[in-house]
Amino acid sequence: MAERIPAEQSAEISENDIADSDFAEIVRRHQSAVFSIALHFLADRSAAEELAQDVFLQLHANLSTLKSEDHMKFWLRKVTAHRCIDYKRRRKPPQVSLDDAPEPVAPSHSSDPLLERRLQQLVASLPEKPRLVVILRYQEDMRAEDIADVLAMPLATVKSHLQRSLAMLREKVTRAIGEVTI
């Protein structure tokens, strides 16, 4: 499939600029994004680091094919997303659907860390594709159109995944946490 670069193109840099730039600096610039996508998807720090390292090794091998900073960002998100799905399929973890996710005992009051943690658990329990859509939307603040490009899926599917995931998350969070202001 031909790669479509998101519309929000900004500073164009030449192939040579990328090739000549310090790879360590590139890693430092993007490590947080790549690691976080993997972490939110896998909910496992060591697995997320291993996967993120693999993504950067692949980036190093493909540096010369990337034409701009935005292209690199797009490429990193796409490769990370695909590697996350591959990793999960290879490992075949016990799949817990959102409906089967265990409910914690709902405390009468909740603090933000509790809500955050619960939301992370619920996101991690979403099916693979909807999980990636939610992560890219809320972690990377991407538009639905760009998510569709990165995941190579129709825009309508992305929107549908987002809507359904949000409805389920809201319902689960409300049931789990109780009456809290979110």
Partner 1 sequence: MTRMDNDMTRMDMDMNKDVKGMDDALKNALRRQEAPDGFAARVLARVAQQDSPQKPVHRDSWLTFLTQPIVRWAALAAFATAMILGVHVYNVRRERAEGEAAKQRLMLALRVAGSKLQLARAKVNEMNANQTRNRQVKE
- Region near partner 1 per CB under 8 A, out of 2-10, 77-85, 90-98, 136-144: 136-144
- Give least dist CB 2 to partner 1, A: 28
Q: Residue 134, interface with partner 1 (CB under 8 A)?
A: yes
**Which positions from 19 through 78 interact with partner 1, judged by CB under 8 A?**
23-24, 27-28, 31-36, 39-40, 45, 49, 52-53, 56-57, 60
175 binds partner 1 (CB under 8 A): no
For residue 98, state whether it binds partner 1 (rule: CB under 8 A). no
| 3-state secondary structure at position 141 | coil
Q: Is 45 or 175 the residue whose CB approaches partner 1 more closely? A: 45
CB contact at 8 A, 77 and 146: no
Q: Is 19 exposed, middle or buried (CB count within 10 Å of its CB: 0-12, 13-18, 19+)? A: exposed
Comparing CB distances to partner 1, the nearer of 21 and 139 is: 139
Rg (CA), the chain: 18
By the rule CB under 8 A, 182 interacts with partner 1: yes
DSSP assignment of 19-50? HHS-HHHHHHHHHHHHHHHHHHHH--HHHHHH
Q: Does 119 bind partner 1 (CB under 8 A)?
A: yes
- 138 vs 153 by CB, closer to partner 1: 138
Give the span between the Cα atoms of 69 and 150, in whole angstroms. Answer: 15
What distances in angstroms separate CA 155 from CA 70, 143, 147, one per listed residue?
A: 20, 10, 8
The type of residue at 68 is S
List residues near partner 1 by CB under 8 A. Answer: 23-24, 27-28, 31-36, 39-40, 45, 49, 52-53, 56-57, 60, 112, 115-117, 119-120, 123, 134-135, 138-139, 141, 166, 169-170, 173, 181-182
